[in-house]
Structure 1
């Protein structure tokens, strides 16, 4: 909104951007000077902030009219540039290979992730690569795409960026090894990473990917959910350091011969890090096994290069240094293994149980520490992402508690962040709804969450709500001239430019998510108008995609869905019938990114679906047996009634 407009100005006029940002405006809010950091004194060719203020004041006093005119011209130029940036064009399926190649060139084949330190998760990249693999499962590029995803997820799950004690993931890793994180936890990261791990579990069938997903969802339900059901936004990186811990740190620093850091009230990661002495005191005879597995060292395990301020001297950030098999061998021999371990599954299960008990002990101890500050705002967009994660978790992990959590959050949004009479979403809630109306991403992410919730519950109310929000999003944000969705409505006169987000970064762009939402709604409703809008949304960003396809991986997910042959998988039966549930469970075991699931139970939901999809009228159980109809673009194969035949069809 406001930040995006003026950051665009700073980037255009200085060649760079970032925070802190300083911009000077005319009374009409038009920018005429801007920059990022200005030092307190002249330094390295940078003028001091005071000097900048003096020069601007003098210029404003002497050339006010010229500056005002200049500001207006700048806004006009930015407006034209924004139009050109998202001018419509066309792309073809070759763009998917181009994006894959860009990601492959930056992939870290040893440690996972893309690029060098600092490393961010960027789940939208993983989303694209899993869909790319599903399109080309037997090709070299498809197999390599999956390898990139699985290695990245494995390395992150083992790394210090993963909170092994309390669950969830920290914001990013300052090093290339996922070891030393910036300890902030953001809701949008948890939501998207949970979904990425669930995708990997469906594809690979390995519980090592299910475990981090459960871990995230448990953390969010326990620590980040309001009593009313909405999800909080974030936990800070810093937290108060207990006096005893500070004294320990100073003692360790003295013994190790390092500089004694000053006492401080707050420190990065204070809630999460451990000394070797703390581990030994807490775990007793199990401390050695735990320390071997999680890389705990007497002098701390944080490399000096990743700790420039000496905050982690003598501290350990837990990271899985060894596999369960290696740790099992270490327990039996007392020696770090070299080569194959030869340990039995029973031995490995015993070690896993021991480590789990140790983590629980440390969790209880850690909960007595001062916690990081909780940002208890409830933001509509991020709640939409988290509803998706819980809805997907309910399906993939077959856990009804996740469906209950997703449902409560959706009900919270409808009751507290939605004006029924005006059909308007609000951005956030804290002790009551905020005054700021929702942005495009609020609508797009909530719609996505509702579509996932419908597929998890088959409650038609969520599909109806999604359609209602989609109509309103189109009315408020759609660019009738050039296509795509603006980020703001244009009703706030304080925002000079309506711009479109053209980058899928930590969060996907609203237009990227909206394009896939529209495509999914088309697969449900067979609506030509929605199909045209979905395609136009993608084509709006053709210029950006042609030059730098990896900038918009989530947009390419939508394009891939539209280019393929979307499937409708219709379950005909009553959900109270165990045979229906068995068929449904089989479908949910498979990674089917080009499919949507519908329920034909003879009730109101089926009647609503039939309004736009006549084929669903006739779908019913066969000879009293629940059935599954698999359709492509509404052309259906003969129904199946047994799990084995269904499995064959889904994997063929």
Structure 2
């Protein structure tokens, strides 16, 4: 029989709807039941692509004996962390305090007043490998609740107080200077793996924001190893098994130090951030292989993670047919049967496919050496070799696409869509691919059409025609940032107006007028035991760091110093954390880099779609100028009445008879106007 999750929309919750555990969704009815029955709450938080969440479901939540015990003694609540990141943040902090580590599935025991008193992550159903069994954990928790409740309640109060303290960072008043960037870089260099790439050891995550810090820092300190680290890291990931060499896109992380064996789920946010960092890697180096990876990653999202109406879906699972990675792995014979003996054996040698295998007897495609190096060592023409391999990859992909695909979580989340829209908007210009701008605008239109409530506020999650849940800080900040990128990619002023609307809502409902910075939840959100300020980057940038970036970008485009002051306050709130944990604050360090400058406003009169202006914009968008703000209006018409861009265009006009006019402004001063043709020459001579 179905439990009370059967009417939920989250694929993760629906996966548990047939469990014998009497799951409830997080709602007031479930909480009221715990209060009335005086029962502790068992809160289980996970997500649909989480492998160990599936394992614990099968082992414990489908176990009738364990289910009966839970149903008798607890009110069991199941939460999708992607739908409720507010709950995930609070109770993950609690689990980390309790155990010194975190992860999913997250398992927390709460008082009926929602205060945690015990928790952990995955437990096997019975004792195994030195771990207590979930059956033992449940009985121990119940024993404490029935026989030592005063101690449990005292502990829960202490945890609640500490959780409230964690969320109350305030303006530090610290000076924002280059020492923050210098010290962060030194730490990143000290932990960088110069053999395999990446920061730290196994398991290895992409750390896109740290790579961005290195790319930015290399512009300030060309003598540092920052650019070397960024290039090496991008190289190693793109050659490893974490990258899908057939369909494009990246898996969540690598379980080993050399990027070979991925945890196979593919997340929208990872691919959005990785597409963005490969675009920047291409712009900083001109390397076409980085452009190819960015393009293939964007194409993966467009082909496999796009809703029919245009929104971007959340994840593809790690498992298919009950096996992790089964969809992605190959044997040599399978490849030879498809490609033929000669080309098949060559493909196998290049992509590390052997009879013994590199993953549980089968093979994850990866490149132990670059295609260029392999071709040179084999005395083969690299251009012809690449052409052969591209055809082979397409043939193998066509066969793979006929396999049973991993399950998909097809809900649309505003925050993750914001990340993808931003990368696509930037990819459109950097890669000269108009289809990416079309897809980005379509996704943004989807959000504004389908995920807005009657009061004009964002809703966080959408699936199968239903949008729900009040949006969080990162929804507003990520989407506002994406809208600014859409404006700079298209110069359609509607996107800038959307960014302004979102930023005003963000400041009004999430800002802390006393301590500075932004809370993760709005001022009218459901009252929880703590209200956090989201300052740490995790797998995605923190809400405060994205808010700071948005404020800085808008202040430049609008000539608004109040927004600049707000950005500086937000940065100062995070300053102590940047000093202490640079690898957890990479996006805020990017905001620091933007704030310290040089930051340039490029103001253009001309036709963005043709002539010298178009050529200049193409050159500019291929250049690595991460702190630029770009505004353009046609020379043939005046700026629209009431335009928010009026301040940045004030006192400027087109040069007579010029096919495009460009003003470059820095530190509140503008250089003399030049023609677009002259600006192209200047840009080629001084790309920074």
Scaled to the shorter chain, the TM-score interval is: 0.7 to 0.9
Identify the residue that residue 321 of structure 1 maps to in structure 2.
Answer: 368
**Alpha-carbon distance in structure 2 between the residues aligned to 1:647 and 1:485:** 43
Pair 1:577–1:492, CA change in 2 (3 A): closer
2:448 to 383, 404, 414: 414
Identify the residue that residue 263 of structure 1 maps to in structure 2.
Answer: none
- Structure 1 position 269, deviation (Å): 1.3
Matched, 1:224 2:305: yes
**Alpha-carbon distance in structure 1 between the residues aligned to 2:139 and 2:243:** 48
Identify the residue that residue 189 of structure 1 maps to in structure 2.
Answer: 270
Pair 1:326–1:147, CA change in 2 (3 A): closer
2:506 to 457, 466, 473: 473
Matched, 1:32 2:117: yes
1:187-336 alignment runs, 5 A limit: 187-240=268-321, 266-284=322-340, 285-300=342-357, 302=358, 307=359, 312-313=360-361, 315-329=362-376
Normalising by structure 1, we get a TM-score of: 0.87
What does the per-residue CA deviation read over 1:56-94, in whole Å, with 9 as the maximum and x for residues that have no partner? 444444565675565345423332343258755444211
User: Could you say what secondary structure the match of 1:638 adopts?
Assistant: coil
- Structure 1 position 583, deviation (Å): 1.8
1:314-463 alignment runs, 5 A limit: 315-329=362-376, 337=378, 347-419=381-453, 421-463=454-496
**Alpha-carbon distance in structure 2 between the residues aligned to 1:566 and 1:212:** 28
Q: Which deviates more, 631-640 or 508-517?
A: 631-640
What does the per-residue CA deviation read over 1:3-22, in whole Å, with 9 as the maximum and x for residues that have no partner? 22122223224433333433
- Structure 1 position 648, deviation (Å): 2.0
Pair 1:605–1:462, CA change in 2 (3 A): farther
- Structure 1 position 291, deviation (Å): 1.7
**Alpha-carbon distance in structure 2 between the residues aligned to 1:103 and 1:38:** 34
**Alpha-carbon distance in structure 2 between the residues aligned to 1:80 and 1:327:** 56
**Alpha-carbon distance in structure 2 between the residues aligned to 1:56 and 1:91:** 47
Pair 1:71–1:297, CA change in 2 (3 A): closer
**Alpha-carbon distance in structure 1 between the residues aligned to 2:312 and 2:500:** 23
**Alpha-carbon distance in structure 2 between the residues aligned to 1:46 and 1:325:** 48
Identify the residue that residue 6 of structure 1 maps to in structure 2.
Answer: 91
**Alpha-carbon distance in structure 1 between the residues aligned to 2:416 and 2:534:** 16
What does the per-residue CA deviation read over 1:32-57, in whole Å, with 9 as the maximum and x for residues that have no partner? 33344555456788665444444544
Q: Is the 8 A contact 1:527 1:612 kept in 2?
A: no
Identify the residue that residue 92 of structure 1 maps to in structure 2.
Answer: 177
Query: Bigger relative contact order, structure 1 or 2, given CA contacts below 8 A and separation 6+?
Result: 1
Identify the residue that residue 656 of structure 2 maps to in structure 1.
Answer: 622
1:90-239 alignment runs, 5 A limit: 90-137=175-222, 140-141=223-224, 144-239=225-320
**Alpha-carbon distance in structure 2 between the residues aligned to 1:556 and 1:191:** 19
**Alpha-carbon distance in structure 2 between the residues aligned to 1:317 and 1:48:** 34
User: Could you say what secondary structure the match of 2:197 adopts?
Assistant: coil
Pair 1:606–1:130, CA change in 2 (3 A): farther
Count of paired positions? 599
**Alpha-carbon distance in structure 2 between the residues aligned to 1:570 and 1:476:** 32
Identify the residue that residue 257 of structure 1 maps to in structure 2.
Answer: none
What are the ranges of 5 or more consecutive residues in structure 2 without an aligned counterpart? Answer: 1-85
**Alpha-carbon distance in structure 1 between the residues aligned to 2:252 and 2:100:** 27
- Structure 1 position 552, deviation (Å): 0.4
User: Could you say what secondary structure the match of 1:631 adopts?
Assistant: strand
**Alpha-carbon distance in structure 2 between the residues aligned to 1:298 and 1:45:** 35
**Alpha-carbon distance in structure 1 between the residues aligned to 2:117 and 2:435:** 54
Pair 1:54–1:464, CA change in 2 (3 A): same
What does the per-residue CA deviation read over 1:392-443, in whole Å, with 9 as the maximum and x for residues that have no partner? 1111011111111111011111101123x52211111101233211111111
Pair 1:644–1:48, CA change in 2 (3 A): same
Q: Is the 8 A contact 1:179 1:317 kept in 2?
A: yes
Q: Is the 8 A contact 2:510 2:519 kept in 1?
A: yes
**Alpha-carbon distance in structure 2 between the residues aligned to 1:162 and 1:87:** 41
Normalising by structure 2, we get a TM-score of: 0.82
- Structure 1 position 488, deviation (Å): 1.3
- Structure 1 position 503, deviation (Å): 1.7
What does the per-residue CA deviation read over 1:505-529, in whole Å, with 9 as the maximum and x for residues that have no partner? 3111011111011001011111122
**Alpha-carbon distance in structure 2 between the residues aligned to 1:276 and 1:522:** 56
Q: Is the 8 A contact 1:523 1:633 kept in 2?
A: no
